[in-house]
A and B are shown apart, each in its own frame.
Chain A
């Protein structure tokens, strides 16, 4: 019996995978994301100079141009840029993921309650999120980070605080639409309680657009984390993080271009990958593209 369930889900997955595979760009996105995630996991261990990652310096070899020994060159402290970029992947991706997950959880909660309850609850929650939207995200994040103090966790919280309204609006809209489905009327007609309708009939059917938005947002979240690192209120050196790496190296441009270009390139690849994946997922999961 469980086998039957698995095969039904399996078939839906295979269909989705078939449609996903039709697009080369989606596949490229998926490949990039897999690579980035893999590096995020094993990055610190495959770094050729683990000592540099831990903060060790090698002043004798400052600003070496890319070579076989140092494919991405070395920086102002003589650290291997490749090692820093590989190790920094974990921090950047983890922070981006943290932001998106926190924002999604909070936003979904607010949006679901607003859309499902309606009336003044909806008004209050949505005006609150409108209010949030009037404050530029980066500025709010800066203020919060400044108040909480620098550090990875504080930065993630700070950005997530400016992140949830997008999800709240998306989820609210989806909940409003799902509420009108005939199967929801059917559930009401058999006497289902509001909580049951929300958790059994409404929320499971809005997972797809949320997942798509999460994937599309990942790139931007990584960028925002890096921006905070860049302006110096994110992760502090010596912990390697792409934005911080960029920030430090900007004073050595353009002569020692490799110190900035390679962290930037890593960021570009990660963001590009998540965006392509998100677009591909949307094509597969969007209910309007279905059937």
Chain B
């Protein structure tokens, strides 16, 4: 049984213009010690997939049309809210893009970390080794300091009393990672965790997340728009386009022999070493309107290989391991 299994997930979001079909049958399975990169352009549904797993999609305007999200076998979409709330923090940890707005500026790091530790210990006393009352407070502080140390904050015990503004952006993201991991989650959802950070800090944070995967024996869903980040830090990748996973599999296989025309287009748009000026290939056209999406493959209107069959029905994902949802896959340009 996979740690996280998303089956045929359909999500619609209501807006002024109508109801947009933003997730159109997502299938994804994450095992422990796997780091899954979820990539795609703005609005492809990668963040909503992450939010769906932690059940943080507001309903309404969101509406789950079909599918299930199984976390250790339990269907999260069928769980009552209280049960899911309990899972957040202890079962599923989350980190977001902006480390500034996700820490409360009014409290010290100590207060915020201890809070998380104590509430996590209410569900799983083992986190504080069964300590209670005043002993629990002390144990929580020890754990907070240990976690800060573990995520690479120098002189962790002394910095516990500091406030968020006294940390740099990279350090704040480390604090958030410590906070997400303090309840020993089995699954970590990281939504663009390094987008707001400098390149040099980004590399450190990605290394840290990789190291934590081994140490905590967890699975990771890393949501990003940067294929370079995926290549550097993920074991697997799922490429999303307009609410569908168009291609997925082990990261090396997908990125070295991309089979879906969209994956190929994404890779050709990255300015890599040796690409001469003007030779980069952009992707013409625009993302389809998800309120009235085209009936078949949603990429068909922009696809050089599209045929009538593509426009008739959504192609199902095919293949074992390296899966691709395309009727005309291939690793060469047509």
Contact = CB atoms under 8 A, between A and B. Distances in A.
Nearest to A16: B16
A260 B16 CA distance: 46
Interface residues of A, number: 4
A15 interface: yes
A15 B17 CA distance: 9
For the residues of B in contact with A, the DSSP-based class is loop
B13 to A, nearest CB: 14
Contacts of B16: 14-15, 18-19
A14 B15 CA distance: 13
Nearest to A22: B16
A7 to B, nearest CB: 15
Interface residues of B, number: 1
Interface string B1-38: 00000000000000010000000000000000000000
Nearest to A19: B16
Contacts of A14: 16
A15 B16 CA distance: 7
Contacts of A19: 16
Interface string A219-261: 0000000000000000000000000000000000000000000
A65 B16 CA distance: 51
A18 B14 CA distance: 13
A18 B18 CA distance: 11
Contacts of A15: 16
A59 B327 CA distance: 93
Contacts of A18: 16
A85 to B, nearest CB: 40
A17 to B, nearest CB: 10
Interface string A157-197: 00000000000000000000000000000000000000000
A216 B16 CA distance: 26
A18 B16 CA distance: 7
B269 to A, nearest CB: 26
Nearest to A18: B16
Nearest to A17: B16
A224 to B, nearest CB: 38
Interface string A1-31: 0000000000000110011000000000000
Nearest to A15: B16
A15 B15 CA distance: 10
A14 B16 CA distance: 9
A20 to B, nearest CB: 11
Interface string A68-88: 000000000000000000000
A162 B300 CA distance: 64
A21 to B, nearest CB: 10
B58 to A, nearest CB: 14
Interface in B285-318: none
A147 B16 CA distance: 54
A19 B14 CA distance: 12
Interface string B130-170: 00000000000000000000000000000000000000000
A19 B15 CA distance: 10
A34 B287 CA distance: 43
A264 B299 CA distance: 64
A14 B17 CA distance: 10
B24 to A, nearest CB: 23
A19 B16 CA distance: 8
B47 to A, nearest CB: 15
Interface of A: 14-15, 18-19
Pairs A-B, 4 closest by C-beta atoms: A18-B16, A15-B16, A19-B16, A14-B16
Interface of B: 16
4 contacts: A14-B16, A15-B16, A18-B16, A19-B16
